[in-house]
Amino acid sequence: MKLRLLLVPALVVVPVVPVALGGWAVVTVENPPEALVAGVPYEMEYTVRQHGVTLVSDMKGRVEAVSGSRRVMADARGGAPGKYTARLTIPEPGDWTITVHSGFGPGKTTMVPLRVAKAGSPVVAMPDAERGRHLFASKGCMVCHVELKVAPDPRDGEYDAAFVRQILADPRSVPRRRATGPEMPNLGLKPAEIAALTAYLAGPNSAGSR
């Protein structure tokens, strides 16, 4: 695994598109950080699923962090089927955007910009709704629901909190509303992640019920 710091302009984020490898892939970050500290290594764990469902192994992926003209990259290594890790160290405090490049064509997940703190600075926890916004991106929800539009954008609807919690915990417990398109996978979300995503997706602007 290699770690390198380059002084180049930030990349433009582009949506995932079907590729010759057999469609598209979704990256799910298993341990998305709520905060990072400059100079402290972060061992990112992520999963790659073809069409958002089938685990894909033997990909040569990488993790990239960008802040202005600064860029840090770390190569990923595979483990269990579809599982990867990359050790990323961000050298300076500031606002950094982390992108996981799956290695499956252009498939990637770009996280919401994250504040990287100076060593010794206090770390402030995010409110649940804000944490949910970060998770919606890092878990790969943006790819299917926003970028590729193979599923409805849940941020446009009005959803009851109990319904959101149920489908996040066990997607198969809720009848499918579309006959075509990929089935929502069970991402194995932790209770705290489900609570944060529910606060984001079933907040003040989603006061109805399903």
Asked if the structure places residue 135 within a domain, the reply is: no
Pull the structure tokens for residue 79: 């483990």
In angstroms and rounded to an integer, the radius of gyration of the C-alpha atoms of the chain is 17
Largest CA distance in the chain: 52
Asked if the structure places residue 197 within a domain, the reply is: no
Asked if the structure places residue 72 within a domain, the reply is: yes
Number of domains in the chain: 1
Asked if the structure places residue 162 within a domain, the reply is: no
Q: Crossing angle, helix 191-201 and helix 128-138, to 10 degrees?
A: 100
Chain segment 193-202, per-residue pLDDT in tens: 999 999 999 8
Asked if the structure places residue 153 within a domain, the reply is: no
Residue 195 CB partners (closer than 8 Å, separation 6+): 128, 165
Pull the structure tokens for residue 168: 């996040």
For the domain that residue 112 is a member of, what is the CATH number?
2.60.40.1930
Asked if the structure places residue 10 within a domain, the reply is: yes
- The confidence score (pLDDT) of residue 143 equals 93
Provide φ and ψ at 49, rounded to 5°. Answer: -125, 125
* CA atoms within 13 Å, Cβ hemisphere of 158: 5
- Reference 104, options 4, 28, 187, 189; nearest CA is 28
Provide φ and ψ at 45, rounded to 5°. Answer: -115, 130
Kindly report the pTM of this predicted structure: 0.84
| Helix, strand and coil percent figures for the chain, each rounded to 5 | 20, 30, 50
Exposed / middle / buried, residue 75 (Cβ in 10 Å: 0-12, 13-18, 19+): middle
Asked if the structure places residue 31 within a domain, the reply is: yes
| Integer Cα distance of 65 and 95 in angstroms | 10
Chain segment 30-61, per-residue pLDDT in tens: 999 999 999 999 999 999 999 999 999 999 99
Domain that holds residue 94: 3-123
Chain segment 60-115, per-residue pLDDT in tens: 999 999 999 999 999 999 999 999 999 999 999 999 999 999 999 999 999 999 99
